[in-house]
Amino acid sequence: MTRPFRAAPRWRPLRAAWRGCALMLLALLLAPGAWAVTAEQALKMATGDGEDRVQAINEAVLDADDRTRAFIDALSNDAVKASDKAAFVMDGDQATDPVTGAKVKLPDDAEDVINNNFLRSALDAAKAALQLHSEDEATRAAAAAALMKDPDES
């Protein structure tokens, strides 16, 4: 009678270490902040030419969290300023970091982010796409209707 294969005792600690690493990796991937908007993403959504900004917005929507949603809302409401190095969400005269939500000092070279109609359309579509994941059925229905009203021709 053959016995099932059992790992030699010397391999058991190694197997336990692999399990621990796998569990830690899984926890990091599933952590709420793991997919938060980065400073680089926020800057790309706020500066550059229109097509690059739309591409950055579309990429951010794919794995958006609450901070990403808030930043897209701020962009849509013309409440974002940007410098060469970073983007800032404005609440009156107070600037906040879109990544951490912490209040920060606005650099002297920060300028208003201007959205043309092309960008406004992309921001509206992004907001509607994000609302498709809402728990409220009426919100999801309104988002679907908004997306169907102005379908993307591409």
Domain tally, the chain: 2
Render 15-66 in DSSP notation, one character per residue: HHHHHHHHHHHHHHHHSGGGGPPPHHHHHHHHSS-HHHHHHHHHHHHHT--H
Structural domain that includes position 23: 7-33
Cα–Cα dist 66/14, whole Å: 39
- Same domain? For 128 and 107 the reply is yes
- Same domain? For 128 and 81 the reply is yes
- Same domain? For 21 and 47 the reply is no
**Per-position pLDDT tens, the chain of length 154:** 566 656 555 555 545 555 554 555 544 444 444 457 899 999 999 999 999 999 999 999 888 888 999 999 999 999 999 999 999 999 999 999 999 999 999 999 999 999 999 999 999 888 888 887 777 788 778 777 776 776 555 4
For residue 151, the tally of other CB atoms under 10 A from its CB is 8
Structure tokens at 89: 């969400």
pTM given for the model: 0.70
